[in-house]
Structure 1
């Protein structure tokens, strides 16, 4: 690696590390999905460990996404990711250094070598929050069933977001993974918590919009109009 690339990498790691200290110790985020489907995401951080649990109540059953891992130099490194549907494990990913083992439970697992961090969609959301919209070089995405390269990540704008009886400022980003797109929006005045997450999985589109939030035990109070 030449001096210029090495310096750029060190600066990236330093900036991510500095931003990661701003992640909350705990956050409970309530969302409304497509057709008013309720969803809740909890984020907890204890020292250099973190855990994310997201629950979506779709018709007939409940989906639970769970991931946990460690934070090092401002980067979130998941150790596992689970997709649980109707109380049964549907798909999972296990992370071990430079390899990822993933797959649907009924179809078996496969292992792939990776050169950078690999994250699920929800860990990726908090990584973007910690890095102010930036990702470590070589980051990949997994949904437990497939492994995707990130083709691009772009900031698509800033706007006011209706939240409760007031408004919050958000920054919007678009992440292209394989042949699909994931959309994120972050509440800039509230630790960059994810205000919107939109993605497609197994042919279904999910659009989660923040309706309530508690950060480190305190309810988020938006600016009144």
Structure 2
């Protein structure tokens, strides 16, 4: 083994996608390549989505079944040796879609090569209508958390006690106002930039990486916050935490 076999490499992909590599192990969280199913609600993306490589040996975690986090067309093309990790309640739907679903309960760790992955609490804006988790990933002495597209919730401190602190917290920042499927409240259904920073502070993260923003805007059904990056940087500076604004495909660790 070379020294690189013991190094954790983390890249931000498009939207909420993250790639994690260590040695021969490659893990994707919420990868997104196909935007057409999203267009009726979220609109046409502002830029093309880059292709996502899924060579043999690639494994995937999904936070929930919203099509901007669960790209079935992409996952259907995975190699036969791939797995799709998910929270146990949605595993039957993932299996019914023809994928190799590996169910995990909250707090249940699983090894994927040199990585350990554990689902933890997250809160979807539609509650029980859409089960959601965040994922803790550990390897080579580093620890990250991917928070899906969660709202603010009160479990940050318990997650930090059980699994923290974190080198990087990937957090949704677009604070979107959503008006579809009968939901019309003028309340953000994902975290705002300021809430995302506060979540990372509560989690004990050294760096907070913004995700889930800047690609879709489709008034009146899907309306992002204004000045997201500036507000995110300002909030992080006020809290003494490193803000990572990272382009698609670029490294975070």
TM-score normalised by structure 2 residue count = 0.27
Q: Which has a greater percent of strand?
A: 1
Q: Which has a greater percent of helix?
A: 2
